[in-house]
Amino acid sequence: MNGVHDMGGMHGLGPLVPEQNEPVWHAPWEARVFALTSAIGAWRKWNLDESRQQIERMPGADYLRSSYYEKWLIRTVALAIQTGLLTREEAMSGRPDPAAQAATPPLKAAQVEPSMRRGGPTTRSVDRQPVFRVGDSVRTRNIHPQTHTRLPRYARDKQGVVVALHGAHVFPDSNALRQGENAQPLYTVRFKAQDLWGEAANARDTVCIDLWEDYLAPV
């Protein structure tokens, strides 16, 4: 979707200032949000792309004033309510409904480390063969869906060259809508910076973006 989260090429948001010796957590509550999100996610009530889409649905003003883990907390609470893990009243009060039946957590303490090490790979084995090869010229589609996509606005309807193929991966656009994984070839496509940003960009610069096959058309 076209939202404030898709900031590539936008002006007026100030410079990026890297934080020297940045800690893993800036406050204990951030670690708790990470743990909470991981524990609730173990119920598999939603997938990774649904969770990204939920953050993108935040009102623009709320998104801009929220920190990274505040976005995580807002997202997790919203999805927990939508999937029936939590009621809105419980979220507002911070207390469980005494009449609600307690659910057994699917992730026990001893399972946390193995689960984190395993991660959530999106690679899949499929019969679909890649349409493009390294060196092929491609053009991205000019799409503006109102739902989740990983094709950024600044790279739509732009010509580039395939420089790598990464096998088949879950397609985020359909997965976010629970329309199936639609696993398909994932490519790295290199674009000239001036083709993306205009003549003001350095003529020697390039930008590489990982893009799914359904985003691309032959040139």
Residue 1 within a domain: no
- pLDDT (0 to 100) of residue 56: 98
Per residue, the 3-state secondary structure of the chain, as one string, reads: CCCCCCCCCCCCCCCCCCCCCCCCCCCHHHHHHHHHHHHHHCCCCCCHHHHHHHHHCCCHHHHHHCCHHHHHHHHHHHHHHHCCCCCHHHHHHCCCCCCCCCCCCCCCHHHHHHHHHHCCCCEECCCCCCCCCCCCEEEECCCCCCCCCCCCHHHCCCEEEEEEEEEEECCHHHHCCCCCCCCEEEEEEEEEHHHHHCCCCCCCCEEEEEEEHHHEEEC
- pLDDT (0 to 100) of residue 104: 85
- Answer with the one of 89, 120, 151 that is the final residue of a domain: 120
Task: Round the average pLDDT of the chain to a whole number and report it.
Answer: 95
Residue 91 within a domain: yes
User: In angstroms, rounded to a whole number, what is the distance separating the alpha carbons of residues 84 and 91?
Assistant: 12
Tell me, yes or no, whether 40 and 113 share the same domain: yes
Residue 14 within a domain: no
- pLDDT (0 to 100) of residue 16: 86
With beta carbons less than 8 A apart as the criterion, state whether 183 and 124 touch: yes
**Total length of the chain:** 219
Residue 5 within a domain: no
Tell me, yes or no, whether 94 and 131 share the same domain: no
Residue 37 within a domain: yes
- Answer with the one of 81, 100, 120 that is the final residue of a domain: 120
With beta carbons less than 8 A apart as the criterion, state whether 216 and 139 touch: yes
How many domains does the chain divide into?
2
With beta carbons less than 8 A apart as the criterion, state whether 209 and 181 touch: no
- pLDDT (0 to 100) of residue 58: 97
Tell me, yes or no, whether 66 and 109 share the same domain: yes
Tell me, yes or no, whether 38 and 86 share the same domain: yes
Tell me, yes or no, whether 104 and 165 share the same domain: no
88: CATH: 1.10.472.20
Tell me, yes or no, whether 54 and 67 share the same domain: yes
Q: Where is average pLDDT lowest: 6-15, 51-60, 127-136, 173-182?
A: 6-15
- pLDDT (0 to 100) of residue 14: 87
Residue pointed to by tokens 């058309």: 217
Residue 61 within a domain: yes
pLDDT digits (tens, 9 = 90+) for 78-137: 999 999 999 999 999 999 999 888 888 888 889 889 988 988 899 999 999 999 999 999
pTM score, two decimals? Answer: 0.92
User: In angstroms, rounded to a whole number, what is the distance separating the alpha carbons of residues 157 and 133?
Assistant: 19
- pLDDT (0 to 100) of residue 199: 95
176: CATH: 2.30.30.50
- Answer with the one of 82, 99, 120 that is the final residue of a domain: 120
- pLDDT (0 to 100) of residue 49: 98
Tell me, yes or no, whether 95 and 143 share the same domain: no
Is the per-residue pLDDT at 186 higher than 90?
yes
Percent of the chain with pLDDT over 90: 84
User: In angstroms, rounded to a whole number, what is the distance separating the alpha carbons of residues 172 and 53?
Assistant: 10
Tell me, yes or no, whether 38 and 112 share the same domain: yes
pLDDT digits (tens, 9 = 90+) for 46-88: 999 999 999 999 999 999 999 999 999 999 999 999 999 999 9
Is the per-residue pLDDT at 172 higher than 90?
yes
Residue 18 within a domain: no
Tell me, yes or no, whether 50 and 97 share the same domain: yes
* 176: containing domain: 124-218
Q: Tell me the pairing of strands 159-169 and 137-140.
A: antiparallel
Residue 21 within a domain: no
